[in-house]
A and B are shown apart, each in its own frame.
Chain A
């Protein structure tokens, strides 16, 4: 019964992830169309601080790794390890989010707000939507940790960890594309 249910849930969740990916595709398309529409203001190469973004990226990639370890440990029913790994993932993710918020506030303080040009609008919307997803993921992780502490590693608990980690890896992949298309290509082109 549980396996049948898992199969349905996982397929459904994968489809949800694909719909979310399509939403990002819309934002990417908008960004690519609008990236040169700076309206006389700044472009990507003037405002992106690449070493900073690289560190941010490493935070997220590492958190993806620890999230994977958490799932492996969950299948081995090692409760403490799972909690420890989830907490590490949470902290790394929070670090990523903090850096992103710092970047945004820095840009705002320099006067590069999203009202200035179509380029900045699409930049803030794309990166910001990813950031909102990260926030949702962090919230989910917190709730998951509480759930596991309360109910232990039940079938349902392991299913929830699997779904959460799928979501987290998905955000990682989207970030790789943001790093490439927004930042690397923004500086290079």
Chain B
């Protein structure tokens, strides 16, 4: 009976070491504070009705960003623990972490940063900006959007759950490569937490990708042809195509690992004919495109930022689009460069080496396009543009390191070394994350109605840039000296000074993060001075700035017509020539109702995932049936939309105007 209900969970698995007890207490404290604040301000109902059950992409986008920032914080905590251990653990000293605990930390750091921090920020920004940029009121499938968000949250909870319910986390590295992740070598529940967390949140990402793909293809404003779309929309499209192409591979690969672990199958085992190398192939078929899923939207953000702050249209629009498409296609053909050392043979390695190096060409095209956009532009050096300039430095640097790694002969030396770790951090932090910072600074006034403090933004940028190079250049050097990744201990004392410099670099980055937190607090405090209700604080070019800041929940009372690229810029020119606005006539339109089914379904998915981790099959069954019942009830509901009538719109629009000009 105990087995059926509680599976492998016993009293002994509950938290009993300092970090899990600490984690549990912190989480409970945070929950209690949040609950107290909500009760005190009587905001429970408001939270449920206005936010948690919302289908408005602007609300969902903001929730994505909040969760992602929390996860970014969690991932940064892991990073500092890894760094401290490596700075201390040399020679006779073994540092302050056990080898096993250290392994769990670097696994969690990688997964949390990729799946929950960066992906969350990205999907959040897409939710906020894409519908506005294409002149739509919503995404194609509002229900799938809220469901995707809540599955992402469920995954985020699952990956942190071992703090509270005990057990451990996977000690396998962020991709849980077989056969290490097989039952034989990882008998605990750590890998199972990994499996179900990624499976649940991966489904959420897949739904988001599908949703954006259909939205961009089907819901553009009249006149917005594909070749008139803003670059951020283009890169979101490319990124979404990659998501729907490779996330199924991730799902099935993890599913096969699950079958191995739960049913004793032999896909990737070392016995009975299993083939662990197949796991490595399959997981990287997802893993490499994932890098481009993260970085392509950042390219789009930089295109927006550069042309806005240079007050010029983007140079080489067509080549920019083609470059993004080219990168999308190429990224699917390079996965093998992650394991040249597997020994696929010289021919295979050469083909994948060359295809990897070719990616540098479209990427270079994009960088030159941005720089030529700035050339002879009327440049305003805002903090968003600072992030772009920093990105050019880091990304070119990391890119060149990448081309070097793409050569199989060099890779045999550098494989699995800290050189590689430094390379991909340069790409993800210096590429994707800097782009996201630029994007958040750039679009913040659109959704909040006031700008962020520019001065602190620039200070934060300088901390980040210097800290970044200080933290990662030593890792490149250490890689050359032979330091492998995931070292919890080393014997060569000559490495220690470099590791210590690296930690100092991280401290400088931390100063940058603190400045950013300060920036947000001060900006909120002084919001009156930075208020912008006009909706166009930067003199920008694309459609999202054509509506007020923050936009009304229906985005546009009348869907704008697009007559060219840089649609809003064209509109502004026309306004100058012909300032008499035509009489607008409002028409009824449909909007999606809020629905709690996303949150219910994800709740059952969470229950299912958690029960599966501990082999509580009865409870897992309840979770599964719950999901099915939610789906069926939702399928029978034919009235998922409501109509906003012309009179209501006119009234809302009048109120909005009164508020803006007050």
Contact = CB atoms under 8 A, between A and B. Distances in A.
Contact of A12 (B141, B590, B636): B141
B218 A118 contact: no
Contacts of A110: none
A30 interface: yes
Nearest to B245: A22
Interface stretch (B126-134, B190-198, B273-281): B273-281
Contacts of B265: 114-115, 121, 124-125
Interface stretch (B96-104, B252-260, B306-314, B648-656): B252-260
A115 B272 CA distance: 8
B38 interface: no
Contacts of A25: 249
Interface stretch (A32-40, A59-67, A83-91): A32-40
Interface in B230-285: 244-245, 247-249, 251-253, 256, 259-260, 263-267, 269, 271-275, 278, 282
A39 B282 contact: no
Nearest to B206: A19
A26 B282 contact: yes
Nearest to B141: A12
Interface residues of A, number: 38
B278 A8 contact: no
B275 A33 contact: yes
Contact of A121 (B244, B251, B267, B590): B267
Contact of B244 (A19, A39, A118): A19
B631 to A, nearest CB: 9
Interface string B205-235: 0100011011001110000000000000000
A147 interface: yes
A96 interface: no
Contact of B590 (A1, A29, A39, A115): A1
A188 B595 CA distance: 54
A125 B248 contact: no
A34 B268 CA distance: 10
Contacts of B590: 1
B494 interface: no
B638 interface: yes
A108 interface: no
A146 B590 CA distance: 28
B639 to A, nearest CB: 10
Contacts of B269: 118
A98 to B, nearest CB: 22
Interface of A is mostly: helix
A15 B244 contact: yes
Contacts of B267: 30, 34, 118, 121-122, 125
Contacts of B273: 34, 37-39, 117-119
Nearest to B210: A15
B247 to A, nearest CB: 7
A174 B219 CA distance: 31
A154 B219 CA distance: 25
B141 A117 contact: no
Given A22-B245, A125-B259, A33 B218 contact: no
Given A12-B210, A116-B272, A121-B266, A30 B245 contact: no
A143 interface: yes
Interface string A1-31: 1000001100110011011101101110110
A117 B213 CA distance: 40
A11 B245 CA distance: 15
A156 B213 CA distance: 23
A165 to B, nearest CB: 16
Given A19-B206, A22-B248, A117-B266, A143 B635 contact: yes
B218 A7 contact: yes
Contacts of A1: 590
A19 B244 CA distance: 6
B141 A8 contact: yes
B632 interface: yes
A19 B218 contact: no
A37 B265 CA distance: 13
Contacts, number: 107
Contacts of A15: 210, 213-214, 244
Contacts of A29: 278, 282
Nearest to A121: B265
Given A22-B245, A37-B273, A39-B272, A8 B214 contact: yes
A148 B251 CA distance: 34
Contacts of A156: 638
Most buried by A among B267, B272, B590: B272
B140 interface: yes
A23 B214 contact: no
Interface in A35-57: 37-39
Contacts of A12: 140-141, 210-211, 214
B38 to A, nearest CB: 36
A29 B267 CA distance: 11
Nearest to A157: B638
Contacts of B213: 15
Contacts of A20: 248
Contact of B275 (A118, A143, A160): A118
B249 A26 contact: yes
A121 B273 CA distance: 10
Given A18-B244, A118-B267, A121-B259, A33 B278 contact: yes
A25 B247 CA distance: 13
Given A11-B217, A12-B141, A143-B635, A117 B272 contact: yes
Contacts of B214: 8, 11-12, 15
Nearest to A22: B248
A24 B587 CA distance: 46
Contacts of A124: 265
A25 B590 CA distance: 39
Nearest to A15: B210
Nearest to B139: A8
Contacts of B264: 114-115
A180 B336 CA distance: 29
A147 B638 CA distance: 11
Nearest to B243: A19
Interface in B139-196: 140-141
A117 B272 CA distance: 5
Nearest to A151: B638
Contacts of B632: 143
A79 to B, nearest CB: 18
B244 A26 contact: no
28 contacts: A8-B141, A11-B217, A15-B213, A15-B244, A22-B249, A23-B251, A26-B252, A26-B253, A27-B252, A29-B278, A33-B275, A37-B272, A37-B275, A114-B263, A114-B264, A115-B266, A118-B266, A121-B260, A121-B267, A121-B274, A125-B256, A143-B632, A143-B635, A147-B635, A147-B636, A151-B638, A154-B638, A160-B635
Of all A-B residue pairs in the complex, the 7 with the closest CB atoms, nearest first, are: A37-B273, A118-B273, A26-B252, A121-B265, A22-B248, A39-B273, A115-B264
Interface of A: 1, 7-8, 11-12, 15-16, 18-20, 22-23, 25-27, 29-30, 33-34, 37-39, 114-119, 121-122, 124-125, 143, 147, 151, 154, 156, 160
Given A8-B141, A118-B266, 13 more contacts: A15-B213, A22-B252, A23-B248, A29-B282, A30-B278, A34-B267, A114-B264, A115-B263, A117-B273, A118-B269, A118-B275, A151-B638, A156-B638
